[in-house]
């Protein structure tokens, strides 16, 4: 038996977010194209050096990106939307970033969740254009590794089935044309890698863990039959992750030389498949046994037992020990964390520590030298110490979760009754305008908050600054004539971190950044203990803003499921129980806002959908407890108190029912990049509660015209009644600049007023 250590992929953000800072400096015209390319090359080489130094037998290349790997694959094959007026050949950086972020002449491509993670990818657009290999980026990375380090790395690329599945713009007929055009380009990329000396080529196919029907299985079989026939000398590692492999017996028989399986998130079904069907003896088995999506130290004794069980059940002659997925979903290293509780820190493993775990497990099972391997016992001691920590043993909180009763999930009256009560109480105009919550956080805001956190400013000075900024933006909103205002969230760094800092059971890191989309990095809190509300978290700022105006100011909270899904979560308690703990804490905050006179309260759940199991047959249980968690946090208010929520990138065709089940009075939806698709969805699946369809894209710096937004609003009235339609941007405005924000909101309000006049005139 041969064991080999490797990883599916490694973070590219940089230990101090060097990658992010480089991209953003280029976008601000502070770096030339030559400068950005040189800096990104330095970052790319440093991360290869790191992987080699941590003892991996095979390192992966091709997983580095200038923005997003789906976008990389699209432009590599000439899949550039026609609106960007690309003339062929190598795609320049301005066009590349234009597709990702939009420009003055064209809107950006749609962004959506990467399976059930918190990462967003750029959705490729097929418009029937002739495909071409514009540049073999994967080959360039492979040759770079060979030149700099003298190694034969493992190049990786998103596989053809997954790439095709996640591309938009084709129907059943044009899909065939698309695939037939795509496969020769994949073959060319692979052939050039083989010619350059690549021994293994990793094709990432996470779509193979989703629910596949018979036709889809046949399509996968045809794709790989053609691809391997075109490049017969290639050794392909077909890599799956995030769940167990679908259609196991058929897909493990594909004509490839290796199969990668997730033995963390897909443990039960993949092990069951090994027991029932075994494993092809002519293939290498890549076993994902170290969790690539959480930050907890692995119990290496249990992992080694799993590896041995996999070896016995599979009968494989060669096994790769690897992460369960790319490590891009976890921070880089715990070495940079100097302020964490030592018991907690000792129980953590970020990307670098996971590479060490992979290396140690490989040696452990290869050499069978149990006596001298201290790492095994050290991991068990660290996990046990955290288990006994007082923060994980608050019986009062645990008992409160167990004491929840059905009545705790329900509002006093149904929506129709509440709607009438709220219209009478609030007296809002048709098509009320609002924003999602946050306003631009200027450099001054960020510098001031940073100085306060470093104790360079007193609490009083900082509080005065936040109040002044809030007052200024209340004035701006009034001048713009927005109907329902927000306080702007200038005191908040992050919509999850802010609440986690005020609740029990959370810990926070200094450098534990991961990429959310593009250059946006997030630093997820760590939920490592029992969660409880101690004191009001948002009442002071919201009530202050409300006292500045006669218009309504929304209270702004992050919902329980989003706090869960955007945190690293303890693994000793069910996710349901953790979410109910958060919901009970938020329930107290909602009640405190209501008691302070706040009539509209928004509890955002942008991450509700991303936690869905990848197979639809497993959705029911998740949706049951997540919907209940939202209702648990909001159901205790009076009928006249209006509950809003907000959701980000979401395929709503199959999600209208759970959205309605939340029983929020108003939901706002991030749909500006896919507005037409949502309109079509609402035609087939009518929605009866209040809804705000995002009328412009806040992720792009462009300012859409009043006419553009008015068209979107007019289209929306095809599927919505005038009494349920709210007008808002598609997400928070924290990352935008002030001038573009004010200009876009002015256009939005003007468009809403025009629509109001049109509807009123038509009903006279």
Which residues sit in the known binding site? Answer: 17-20, 113, 436-438, 489, 566, 604, 610, 646, 648, 670, 731
- Does 253 lie in the same domain as 317? yes
Alpha-carbon torsion 384, 388, 389, 394, what sign? positive
Tokens encoding 444 = 């001054």
Q: pLDDT at position 372, please?
A: 47
- pTM score, whole prediction: 0.89
In a domain, 17, yes or no: no
Residues in the chain: 764
- Does 266 lie in the same domain as 172? yes
Q: Residue 202 in contact with residue 155, Cβ under 8 Å?
A: yes
Q: What amino acid positions are annotated as catalytic residues?
A: 699
Task: State which of 603, 637, 669 marks the end of a domain.
Answer: 669
Q: Residue 654 in contact with residue 633, Cβ under 8 Å?
A: no
Q: Helix 706-716 to helix 738-762 angle, to the nearest 10 degrees?
A: 50
Q: Residue 751 in contact with residue 710, Cβ under 8 Å?
A: yes
In a domain, 608, yes or no: yes
- Does 638 lie in the same domain as 547? yes
Residue keyed to tokens 């990658």? 19
Distance CA 229, CA 609 (A): 39
In a domain, 731, yes or no: no
When divided into structural domains, the chain yields a total of 2
Q: Going by C-beta distance under 8 Å and a sequence separation of 6 or more, which residues neighbour residue 153? A: 48, 58, 59, 60, 61, 141, 142, 145, 146
How is residue 6 annotated by DSSP? B
In a domain, 38, yes or no: no
- Does 382 lie in the same domain as 485? no
CATH number at residue 171: 3.20.20.210
- Positions of E strands within 167-314: 201-204, 236-239, 258-262, 284-290
Q: Residue 713 in contact with residue 727, Cβ under 8 Å?
A: yes
CA 318-321-326 angle, 5° bins: 130
Distance CA 370, CA 358 (A): 16
Torsion angles phi and psi, residue 547, rounded to 5: -70, -10
Residue keyed to tokens 């958060």? 582
Q: Helix 675-684 to helix 706-716 angle, to the nearest 10 degrees?
A: 10
Tokens encoding 494 = 């992050």
Tokens encoding 62 = 């091709």
Task: State which of 669, 685, 719 marks the end of a domain.
Answer: 669
Q: pLDDT at position 305, please?
A: 94
Radius of gyration of the chain (CA): 26
Q: pLDDT at position 371, please?
A: 44
- Does 505 lie in the same domain as 583? yes
- Does 240 lie in the same domain as 141? yes
Residues of the chain falling short of pLDDT 50: 370-372
The closest of 271, 259, 263, 250 to 202, measured between CA atoms, is 259
Torsion of CA 726, 728, 732, 738, to 10 degrees: -150
How is residue 150 annotated by DSSP? -
- Does 323 lie in the same domain as 457? no
- Does 445 lie in the same domain as 346? no
Q: Residue 255 in contact with residue 223, Cβ under 8 Å?
A: no
Q: pLDDT at position 650, please?
A: 54
- Does 494 lie in the same domain as 367? no
Q: Residue 50 in contact with residue 18, Cβ under 8 Å?
A: no
- Does 451 lie in the same domain as 373? no
**What DSSP string describes 442-505?**
-HHHHHHHHHHHTTSS-HHHHHHHHHHHHHHHHHHHHHHT-SEE--B-TT-S-TTHHHHTTBTT
Task: State which of 388, 407, 427 marks the end of a domain.
Answer: 388
Which residues sit in the known binding site for 5-methyltetrahydropteroyltri-L-glutamate? Answer: 17-20, 113, 566, 610
In a domain, 495, yes or no: yes
In a domain, 31, yes or no: no
* Domain that includes residue 151, residue range: 2-11+56-66+133-388
Distance CA 648, CA 611 (A): 13
- Does 382 lie in the same domain as 445? no
Secondary structure (H, E, C), 599-656:
CEEEEECCCCHHHCCCCHHHHHHHHHHHHHHHHHHHCCCCCCCEEEEEECCCCHHHCH
Q: pLDDT at position 698, please?
A: 83
- Does 375 lie in the same domain as 287? yes
In a domain, 758, yes or no: no
In a domain, 433, yes or no: no
Which residues sit in the known binding site for L-methionine? Answer: 436-438, 489, 604
């Amino acid at each position: 038996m041969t064991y080999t250590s490797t990883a599916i992929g490694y973070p590219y953000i940089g230990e101090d977010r060097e990658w992010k800072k480089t991209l953003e400096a280029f976008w601000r015209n502070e770096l030339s194209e030559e400068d950005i390319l040189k800096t990104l090359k330095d970052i790319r080489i440093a991360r290869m050096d790191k992987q080699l130094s941590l003892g991996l037998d095979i390192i992966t290349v091709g997983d580095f990106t200038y923005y997003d790997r789906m976008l990389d694959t699209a432009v590599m094959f000439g899949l550039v939307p026609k609106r960007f007026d690309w003339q062929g050949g190598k795609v320049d950086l301005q066009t590349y970033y234009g597709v990702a972020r939009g420009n003055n002449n064209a809107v950006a491509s749609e962004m959506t969740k990467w399976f059930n993670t918190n990462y967003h990818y750029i959705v490729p657009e097929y418009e029937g254009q002739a495909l071409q290999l514009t540049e073999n980026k994967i080959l360039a990375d492979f040759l770079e590794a060979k030149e700099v380090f003298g190694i034969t790395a493992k190049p990786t690329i998103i596989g053809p089935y997954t790439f095709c599945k996640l591309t938009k713009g084709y129907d059943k007929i044009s899909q065939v044309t698309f695939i037939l055009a795509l496969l020769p380009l994949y073959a060319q990329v692979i052939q050039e890698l083989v010619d350059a000396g690549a021994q293994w080529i990793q094709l990432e196919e996470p779509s193979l863990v989703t629910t596949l029907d018979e036709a889809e299985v046949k399509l996968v079989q045809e794709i790989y039959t053609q691809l391997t026939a075109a490049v017969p000398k290639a050794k392909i590692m077909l890599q799956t992750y995030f769940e167990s492999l679908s259609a196991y017996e058929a897909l493990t028989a594909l004509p490839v030389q290796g199969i990668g399986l997730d033995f963390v998130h897909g443990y039960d079904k993949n092990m069951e498949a090994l027991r029932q069907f075994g494993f092809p003896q002519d293939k290498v088995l890549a076993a994902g046994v170290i969790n690539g999506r959480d930050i907890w130290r692995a119990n290496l004794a249990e992992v080694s037992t799993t590896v041995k069980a996999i070896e016995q059940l599979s009968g494989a002659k060669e096994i790769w020990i690897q992460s369960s997925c790319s490590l891009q979903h976890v921070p880089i290293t715990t070495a940079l964390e100097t302020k964490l509780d030592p018991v907690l820190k000792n129980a953590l493993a970020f990307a670098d520590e996971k590479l060490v775990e992979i290396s140690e497990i490989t040696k452990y099972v290869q050499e069978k030298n149990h006596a001298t391997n201290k790492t095994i016992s050290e991991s068990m001691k660290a996990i046990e110490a955290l288990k006994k920590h007082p923060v994980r043993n608050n019986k009062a909180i645990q008992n409160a979760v167990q004491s929840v009763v059905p009545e705790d999930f329900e509002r006093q009256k149904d929506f129709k009754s509440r709607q009438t009560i709220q219209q009478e109480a609030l007296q809002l105009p048709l098509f009320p305008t609002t924003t999602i919550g946050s306003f631009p956080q200027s450099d001054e805001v960020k510098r001031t908050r940073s100085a306060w956190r470093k104790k360079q400013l007193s609490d009083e000075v900082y509080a005065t600054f936040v109040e002044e900024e809030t007052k200024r933006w209340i004035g701006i909103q009034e001048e713009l004539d927005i109907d329902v205002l927000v306080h702007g969230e200038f005191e908040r760094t992050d919509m999850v971190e802010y609440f986690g800092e005020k609740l029990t059971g959370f810990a926070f890191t200094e450098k534990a950044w991961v990429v959310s989309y593009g250059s946006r990095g997030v630093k997820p809190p760590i939920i490592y203990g029992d969660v409880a509300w101690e004191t009001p978290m948002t009442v002071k700022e919201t009530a202050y803003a409300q006292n500045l105006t006669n218009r309504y100011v929304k209270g702004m909270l992050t919902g329980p499921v989003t706090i869960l899904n955007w945190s690293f979560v303890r693994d000793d308690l069910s996710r349901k129980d953790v979410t109910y703990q958060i919901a009970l804490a938020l329930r107290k905050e909602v009640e405190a806002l209501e008691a302070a006179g706040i009539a509209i309260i928004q509890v955002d759940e942008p991450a509700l959908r991303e936690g869905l199991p990848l197979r639809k047959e497993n959705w029911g249980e998740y949706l049951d407890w997540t919907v209940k968690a939202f209702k648990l946090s909001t159901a205790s208010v009076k009928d006249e108190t209006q509950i809003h929520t907000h959701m980000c990138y979401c395929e709503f065709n199959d999600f209208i029912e759970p959205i309605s089940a939340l029983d929020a009075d108003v939901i706002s939806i991030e749909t500006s990049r896919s507005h037409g698709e949502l309109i079509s969805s609402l035609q087939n699946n009518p929605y009866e509660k209040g809804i705000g369809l995002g009328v412009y894209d806040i992720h792009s710096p462009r300012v859409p015209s009043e006419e553009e937004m008015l068209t979107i609003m007019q289209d929306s009235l095809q599927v919505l009644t005038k009494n349920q339609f709210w007008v808002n941007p598609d997400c928070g405005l924290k990352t935008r600049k002030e001038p573009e924000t004010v200009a876009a909101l002015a256009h939005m309000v003007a468009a809403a007023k025009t629509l109001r006049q049109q509807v009123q005139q038509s009903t006279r």
